[in-house]
Amino acid sequence: MFTRTKASAVGAAAIVAFAAALAGCAGSAPGDAAATYDPDEEVTLDFAFWGNDVRAEMYNEAIAAFNEEYPNITVNSTFLSWDEYWEKRQTEAAGKNLPDVFQMDMTYVRQYSDNGLLLDLTPYLDDIIATDGFDESVLDIATINDTIAGMPVSTNAIGMFENVVLTEEVGVEPFEGGDWEAYDEWLHEARDAAETAGLEVWGGADPTGFIQPFELVLRSEGKSVFTEEGEVGFTKEDLADFWSRGGELREDAVVTPQQRIQEVSPKGAFDSAQALTEIVWDNFGAPYKANLGDAYPDLNLVAPPVTEEGAKDLYKKAGMLISAAASTDHPEAAALFTDFLVNSPEVGAIFGTNRGMPASQTQLEGVELDETAQQIIDYEESIADRIGDAPPVPIVGYGSVEAKFKALGQELGFGTITVDEAVDQLFAEIDVIVNQ
């Protein structure tokens, strides 16, 4: 049931055409960008990021390495926790006084871009910001109205984790892949095997309780959660069909009961060993292993069920972006620092996977990969034929839609709401957000 509209591609011809337009209105065509940077000019950049003391020390090392190459550019960095970080940015945005360069999240990038607060990085591509280490689909992740609002630092994709040891204990063969119907059949097999083994374990949590599996189904059908224009990309019937499937799984008692999930919270069904599989972003492996502990050391990472063979239902999502402020007095220096943060192998060696799996192959070459990181790389290579263009950049308020979807999924799990009521409530929430 899923797919999407193609986001604007940034090919070489598009970059040249856009550069010409900029030359006419701003006097800074891509070919002139590097030339306007004066290596003798003393420049100061403010840089902000969310994180902790560990990440701060890594950035200090990265800035020191940057200064070895560009001693004339002083970078003053500050950091805050996630919530405090965005409160501070909102205050700065109101006064058009954002840092020259700062970490950006996909949840907020459209809001800041639509308000004209982010520097369009298109003119600096290739001349200052290297792009040869990025797949085109990854470069397109933060493209809004033909402008590039940020450079991806890291990416991840949807996958399915399998608890190898627990699956053996239950006595069922691992899910061998296939469509959703095949996965449903396997969930029934896992339930029967668990009952025979005398274990209170289920094949998986209800996959219809989260928006990501719904998005996979939509993308397989050429649809998206929201269109490029910010409109709803699916119908009430699409959502009702999806949630009804979850009802059948719950009635057959083949997915982890919602009550059991509440009991093990804040862990989930998978990382509390209540489920054999979990459909989730592929960078969840490390925290899952930490929560499961030594009793369950082996996790497989495989492709999620398919809705339609040959569909480009999977995509790479930006875990983090680096953006620059439209108000910066030093756009070329900001672009240089951005390039260093997303492309430098030395920065890759400093951070490892602290900021996620590097989006740039150039930076990835500097990372010393552990077993979990290598597993992600191998997995993403295995799903290359299912990777499509990134969906449209999320609308302002997408996080609220995702949270509402999850909350309604929980209510459906408890049986306190009907599918039709849940559908109406989600569309009401979307209406408020889209029309606010």
Give the DSSP letter string of 331-383. HHHHHHHHHHHHH-HHHHHHHTTTTSSBSSHHHHTT----HHHHHHHHHHHHT
Q: What mean pLDDT comes out for the span 231-235?
A: 96
- Give the chain's end-to-end CA distance (angstroms, integer): 29
How many H helices and E strands in the chain?
18, 11
What are the pLDDT digits (tens) for 65-87?
A: 999 999 999 999 999 999 999 99
In the numeric block, which tokens belong to residue 220? 């397989």
Q: What is the pLDDT of residue 36?
A: 60
Please return the burial class of 86, using the count of CB atoms within 10 Å of its CB with bins 0-12, 13-18 and 19+.
middle
Whether the per-residue pLDDT at 17 is higher than 90: the answer is no
Instruction: Report the C-alpha gap between 94 and 107 in whole angstroms.
Output: 18
Residue with tokens 């369950």: 296
Residue 275: in which H helix or E strand, if any?
A: strand 275-281
266 prior amide bond cis, ω within 30:
yes
Query: Other C-beta atoms within 10 Å of 429: how many?
Result: 18
Per the DSSP assignment, residues forming a β-bridge with 333 are none
Structure confidence by residue, pLDDT tens digits, 304-360: 999 999 999 999 999 899 999 999 999 999 999 999 999 999 999 999 999 989 999
Q: Tell whether the model's pLDDT for residue 12 goes beyond 60.
A: no
Residue 229: what pLDDT?
87
| pLDDT(19) > 80 | no
The predicted structure's pLDDT at residue 3: 26
Q: Residue 125 corresponds to which tokens in the numbers above?
A: 């591509």
Predicted confidence band at 62 (pLDDT cuts at 50, 70, 90)?
very high
Task: Report DSSP letters for 216-270, one per residue.
Answer: HHHHHTT--SB-TTS-B-S-HHHHHHHHHHHHHHHHTT-B--HHHHHHHTTS-TT
Whether the per-residue pLDDT at 7 is higher than 60: the answer is no
Give the up-direction half-sphere exposure of residue 319: CA atoms within 13 A in the CB hemisphere: 19
Rounded CA gap, 336 and 62, in Å? 13
pTM of the predicted model, to two decimals? 0.82
The answer on pLDDT for 20 being more than 70 is: no
Give the Cα separation of 89 and 72 in Å (integer): 27
To 5 degrees, how large is the angle CA 302–CA 303–CA 308?
160
Provide the 10 A C-beta neighbour count for residue 397: 18
Strands 158-163 and 275-281: antiparallel
Give the integer Cα–Cα distance in Å for 187 and 26.
59
What CA–CA distances, in Å, run from 212 to 23, 207, 406? Answer: 41, 9, 10
| Tokens matching residue 56 | 């701060």
Name the strand (E) or helix (H) holding 300.
strand 299-302
